[in-house]
């Protein structure tokens, strides 16, 4: 008797559900994508207990006739992919024909749909169609999913707490609203509206709806293209960077995707403008011929592979860097007194009960949970930007007007002024920026001066580091470090560049070798940048190092000459300001 047999469709759908349906967000995602593919202009998502009790998606799309309404619950039944040509030219969000039968196999589903000519209602339980009846003719589709995993209780146990499930759904719907600003999205949980967009095509307005006014004011539009890719969207000023990369929304032909290479390219573009552990707020849509991307990598269709990835990363990097350099990056010291960030009640989300989810407000969901209190400290509104009166040169770089130092506090911060206002400068961060740009210029100098050593320097390393450094001897020679192998795990240095610190050359060389050996993804550009930043930090005055006013004036003059005087190489601000208007407002000399 044959041991191999074809499993029945209900069992196959339950197995598929294990991949497709991991949490409530996956249910919402698959059904919302169907609504978008149905050309809907308004989509309403209603949840009961974060979706665990009920998920209902209603749309005003093209609907289905009676035959399609029943066939939709069959595995691999799809209207979007019929042959190999379609598979390699996918323009719809769904195409696999697995989601709806997978959802139906582990829940109780009621589908109501109409194409304007016939209305149909289909009731499905555990993957089996129980009833098909006539329904009203209102064009569109609504799908209600109840009691998810009722017939697979082990899976139900692994559903996270209600707030975690709700947070995942909210995050997904946010990203879909950013992807499709011309679709009206409404998200409701237990009767509370969490998101309600206009659907008028204004992406900046959607950003406002999701992140609030203080963030929306600091988002800048970008757009650019090359022969294969076209990119557009909004990027944030560095000062509103967040502690999570979750606020980076990447889209391909309006499809929300995850791609670590893209995220890394975006974050690298902000290098030296934000701290290492912070991330910008980004909405980036990539328009590309479908044949250049593969979305058939995973059932969730969020992992995407690109052709010509290097060209795309270069386009993103160049576009963001160019836009950042056009920004005025001195943060204002006045705290933003925005009610959005101060009136939301505090909730212990780790101990949230089922009843608590009824009372979660929109602002609490998006603000208290997502936003660090520090992130909205600084605000530079358009009016304040005008008051700063920073001079703009012909090449779109910004030059700070001369600042006169008036004092030093805590042996760390220089207080300075000009006719526009008062400035507070972090002496270490400012010195780091100055030395970083000087070091980088020296390292990249093609006629770099190398000093021959009368007594060579020997440096011993662990075997694994030695093997990596040995491969980079030619690179070291390019920057003025001539060395050769000298026994096991040791190199002897014959020359070194003149910019190394006097009497600390061996220490600096050890640090350079360590940077080479421990870089995760080595590249010449990143190595040089890292080395310049490290050397700059070592060379610079520190907090609590005393400097007099004459030295402070020299520091400020040198800072003004920098290509980017606003941040140290690690992304911290070098300077903040109280404009004259801010001070007058604080002392009630002017009233708003």
**CATH code of the domain containing 180:** 3.30.565.10
186: in domain:
yes
Is the pLDDT score of 513 beyond 60?
yes
Q: Based on the fold, state whether residues 261 and 216 are members of the same structural domain.
A: yes
Reported as a pLDDT band with limits 50, 70 and 90, residue 89 is very low
Q: Where in the sequence is the domain holding 252, given as residue range(s)?
A: 202-380
CATH number of the domain to which 415 belongs: 3.30.1540.20
Mean pLDDT of all residues in 192-218: 91
Amino acid 302: pLDDT = 59
Find the range with the poorest average confidence among 22-26, 166-170, 197-201, 207-211: 22-26
Is the pLDDT score of 340 beyond 50?
no
Is the pLDDT score of 17 beyond 70?
no
582: in domain:
yes
Q: Based on the fold, state whether residues 214 and 310 are members of the same structural domain.
A: yes
Structure tokens at 498: 């003149």
Amino acid 520: pLDDT = 63
Is the pLDDT score of 100 beyond 50?
yes
Per the model's pLDDT, the better-predicted residue between 225 and 13 turns out to be 225
Reported as a pLDDT band with limits 50, 70 and 90, residue 342 is very low
Summarize pLDDT for 530-564 with one digit per residue, the tens: 778 877 887 788 877 888 999 999 999 999 888 88
Amino acid 141: pLDDT = 93
Residue 279: helix, strand or coil by DSSP?
strand
Sheet of strand 229-236: strand arrangement? 219-225, 229-236, 282-288, 248-252, 255-257
Amino acid 157: pLDDT = 64
- For the chain, the C-alpha Rg in angstroms (whole number) is 29
Strand partners of residue 484: 492
Mean pLDDT of all residues in 347-370: 37
Amino acid 180: pLDDT = 93
Q: Based on the fold, state whether residues 103 and 227 are members of the same structural domain.
A: no
Amino acid 86: pLDDT = 45
Q: Based on the fold, state whether residues 148 and 273 are members of the same structural domain.
A: no
Find the range with the poorest average confidence among 326-335, 435-444, 471-480: 326-335
Q: Based on the fold, state whether residues 367 and 417 are members of the same structural domain.
A: no
Q: Looking at 150, 172, 196, which one is the last position of a domain?
A: 196
pTM to 2 decimal places: 0.66
Q: Based on the fold, state whether residues 44 and 123 are members of the same structural domain.
A: yes
Q: Under a CB-based contact definition with an 8 Å cutoff, are residues 236 and 215 in contact?
A: yes
1: in domain:
no
Q: Based on the fold, state whether residues 543 and 435 are members of the same structural domain.
A: yes
Amino acid 154: pLDDT = 58
Backbone angles phi, psi at 289, to 5 degrees: -60, 125
533: in domain:
yes
Q: Based on the fold, state whether residues 437 and 556 are members of the same structural domain.
A: yes
- CA distances 548 to 60, 103, 406, 501, 536, Å, are 70, 71, 10, 23, 21
- With 0-12 / 13-18 / 19 or more C-beta atoms within 10 angstroms meaning exposed / middle / buried, residue 403 is buried
4: in domain:
no
* C-alpha 475, offset from chain centre: 33
Say how many domains are in the chain. Answer: 3
Q: Under a CB-based contact definition with an 8 Å cutoff, are residues 249 and 219 in contact?
A: no
Residue 408: CB atoms within 10 Å:
19
Q: What average pLDDT is seen over the chain? A: 77
Per the model's pLDDT, the better-predicted residue between 393 and 294 turns out to be 294
Per the model's pLDDT, the better-predicted residue between 512 and 318 turns out to be 318
Q: Under a CB-based contact definition with an 8 Å cutoff, are residues 481 and 517 in contact?
A: no
Amino acid 83: pLDDT = 44
Q: Looking at 196, 224, 240, which one is the last position of a domain?
A: 196
Percentage of the chain beyond pLDDT 90 is 24
Mean pLDDT of all residues in 61-74: 85
User: Among positive and negative, which fits the CA dihedral 302, 303, 305, 311?
Assistant: positive
Is the pLDDT score of 452 beyond 80?
yes
Amino acid 328: pLDDT = 65
Mean pLDDT of all residues in 249-266: 87
Structure tokens at 78: 């799809």
Amino acid 406: pLDDT = 92
Q: Measure the CA–CA gap between 486 and 581, rounded to whole angstroms.
A: 64
Amino acid 487: pLDDT = 77
- Which residue, among 586, 578, 562, has the nearest Cα to 416 in the 3D structure? 578
Q: Based on the fold, state whether residues 253 and 179 are members of the same structural domain.
A: no
2: in domain:
no
Amino acid 416: pLDDT = 93
CATH number of the domain to which 334 belongs: 3.30.230.10
Backbone angles phi, psi at 101, to 5 degrees: -65, -30
Q: Based on the fold, state whether residues 451 and 571 are members of the same structural domain.
A: yes
Q: Based on the fold, state whether residues 129 and 208 are members of the same structural domain.
A: no
**DSSP assignment string, 432-495:** HHHHHHHHHHHHH-TT--EEEEEEEEEEE--HHHHHHHHHTHHHHHHTT-EEEE-STTEEEEEE
Q: Looking at 132, 165, 196, which one is the last position of a domain?
A: 196
Residue with tokens 């080479």: 516
Amino acid 12: pLDDT = 52
Q: Under a CB-based contact definition with an 8 Å cutoff, are residues 141 and 61 in contact?
A: yes
Q: Based on the fold, state whether residues 363 and 417 are members of the same structural domain.
A: no
Mean pLDDT of all residues in 263-278: 86
Reported as a pLDDT band with limits 50, 70 and 90, residue 182 is very high
């Amino acid at each position: 008797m044959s041991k191999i047999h074809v499993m029945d469709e209900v069992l196959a759908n339950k197995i598929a559900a294990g991949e497709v349906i991991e949490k409530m967000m996956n249910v919402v995602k698959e059904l919302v994508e169907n609504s978008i593919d149905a050309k809907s202009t308004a989509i309403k998502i209603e949840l009961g207990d974060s979706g665990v009790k009920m998920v209902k998606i209603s749309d005003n799309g093209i609907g289905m006739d009676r035959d399609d309404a029943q066939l939709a619950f069959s595995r691999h039944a799809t209207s979007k992919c019929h042959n190999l040509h379609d598979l390699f030219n996918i323009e719809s969000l769904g195409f696999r024909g697995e989601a709806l039968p997978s959802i139906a196999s582990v829940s109780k589903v009621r589908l109501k749909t109409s194409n304007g000519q016939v209305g149909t209602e289909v009731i499905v339980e555990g993957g089996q169609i129980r009833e098909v009846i006539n329904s009203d003719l209102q064009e569109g589709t609504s799908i209600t999913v109840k009691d998810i995993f009722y017939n697979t209780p082990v899976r139900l146990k692994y559903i996270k707490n209600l707030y975690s499930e709700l947070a995942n759904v909210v995050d997904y719907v946010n990203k879909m609203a950013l992807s499709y600003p011309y679709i009206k999205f409404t998200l409701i949980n237990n009767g509370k509206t969490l998101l309600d967009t206009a659907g008028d095509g204004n992406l900046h307005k959607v950003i406002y709806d999701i992140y609030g006014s203080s963030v929306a004011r600091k988002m800048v539009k970008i757009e650019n293209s090359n022969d294969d890719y076209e990119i557009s969207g909004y990027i944030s000023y560095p000062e509103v960077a967040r502690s999570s990369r979750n606020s980076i929304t990447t889209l391909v032909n309006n499809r929300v995707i995850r791609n670590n290479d893209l995220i890394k390219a975006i974050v690298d573009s902000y290098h030296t403008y934000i701290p290492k552990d912070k991330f910008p707020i980004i909405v980036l849509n990539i328009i590309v011929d479908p044949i250049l991307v593969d979305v058939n990598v995973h059932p969730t269709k969020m992992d995407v592979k690109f052709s010509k990835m290097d060209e795309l990363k270069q386009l993103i990097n160049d576009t963001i860097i160019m836009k950042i350099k056009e920004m005025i990056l001195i943060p204002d010291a006045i705290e933003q007194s925005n009610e959005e960030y101060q009136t939301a009640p505090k909730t212990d989300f780790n101990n949230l009960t089922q009843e608590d989810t009824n009372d979660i407000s929109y602002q609490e969901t998006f603000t208290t949970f997502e936003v660090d209190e520090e992130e909205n400290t600084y605000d530079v509104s358009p009016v304040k930007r005008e008051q700063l009166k920073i001079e703009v040169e012909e090449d779109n770089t910004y030059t700070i007007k001369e600042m006169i130092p008036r004092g030093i506090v805590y042996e760390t911060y220089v207080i300075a002024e000009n006719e526009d206002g008062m400035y507070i400068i972090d002496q270490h961060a400012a010195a780091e920026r100055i030395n970083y740009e000087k070091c980088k210029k020296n390292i990249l100098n093609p006629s770099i001066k190398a000093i021959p050593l009368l007594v060579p320097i020997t440096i011993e390393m662990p075997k694994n580091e030695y093997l990596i450094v040995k491969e980079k001897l030619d690179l070291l020679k390019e920057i003025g470090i001539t060395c050769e192998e000298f026994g096991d795990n040791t190199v002897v240095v014959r020359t070194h560049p003149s910019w190394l610190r006097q009497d600390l050359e061996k220490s600096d060389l050890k640090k350079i070798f360590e940077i080479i050996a421990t870089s995760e993804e080595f590249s010449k550009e990143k190595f040089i940048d890292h080395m310049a930043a490290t050397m700059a930090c070592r060379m610079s005055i520190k907090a609590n190092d005393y400097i007099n006013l004459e030295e402070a004036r020299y520091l400020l003059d040198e800072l003004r000459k920098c290509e980017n005087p606003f941040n140290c190489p690690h992304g911290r601000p070098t300077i903040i300001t109280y404009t004259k208007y801010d001070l007058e407002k604080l002392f009630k000399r002017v009233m708003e």
